[in-house]
């Protein structure tokens, strides 16, 4: 699949591998005391079961969900991607742009020299 790096925004290709198990059932009403059909469906979901009706199982929804779960939350083109320069936007993986990126007037810069007593 193609993903965009969350640090440098570069698109990269990666393999997505995920092993999962899905349990489909339509016989939950006997084990779950539920008032209506909707409630049966919700409880089945809580138990990790996927409820289905009729003679056919639609695998799409369950598989889609697993693929979404397998997506990296913070995709990175490489483990130590340096990202983009916050000043000029240069790709820092290609070398340093020479910008001074230490925050000059940061609200928290005063805290840098703060020393807290050990508790
Ligand atoms: Zn990157
Ligand atoms: Zn720069």
**Which ligand gives the minimal distance to the CA of 74?**
1
The reply to whether 90 falls in a domain is no
**Which ligand gives the minimal distance to the CA of 92?**
2
Query: Which comes out higher in pLDDT, residue 60 or 30?
Result: 60
The reply to whether 93 falls in a domain is no
pLDDT of residue 29: 58
The reply to whether 100 falls in a domain is no
The reply to whether 65 falls in a domain is yes
Instruction: Report CA(35)–ligand 1 centroid distance (Å).
Output: 51
The reply to whether 21 falls in a domain is yes
The reply to whether 42 falls in a domain is yes
Domain with 63 in it: 2-83
d(CA 30, CA 32): 6
Instruction: Report CA(80)–ligand 2 centroid distance (Å).
Output: 18
Instruction: Report CA(74)–ligand 1 centroid distance (Å).
Output: 10
The reply to whether 112 falls in a domain is no
Give how many domains the chain has, as a whole number: 1
pLDDT digits (tens, 9 = 90+) for 19-49: 988 888 876 555 555 566 677 667 767 777 8
Long-range contacts (CB closer than 8 Å, 24 or more residues apart) made by 63-69: 63/22, 66/18, 66/20, 66/22, 67/16, 67/18, 69/18
């Amino acid at each position: 699949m193609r993903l965009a790096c969350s640090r440098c925004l570069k698109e990269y290709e990666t393999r997505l591998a995920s092993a999962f198990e899905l349990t489909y059932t339509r016989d939950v009403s006997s084990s779950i005391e539920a008032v209506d059909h909707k409630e049966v469906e919700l409880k089945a979901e809580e138990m990790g079961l996927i409820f289905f009706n009729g003679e056919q199982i639609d695998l799409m929804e369950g598989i889609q969900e697993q693929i979404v779960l397998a997506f990296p939350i913070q995709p990175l083109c490489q483990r130590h991607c340096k990202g983009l320069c916050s000043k000029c936007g240069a790709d820092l993986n290609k070398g340093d742009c020479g910008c001074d990126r230490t925050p000059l007037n940061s609200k928290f810069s005063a805290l840098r020299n703060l020393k807290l007593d050990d508790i």
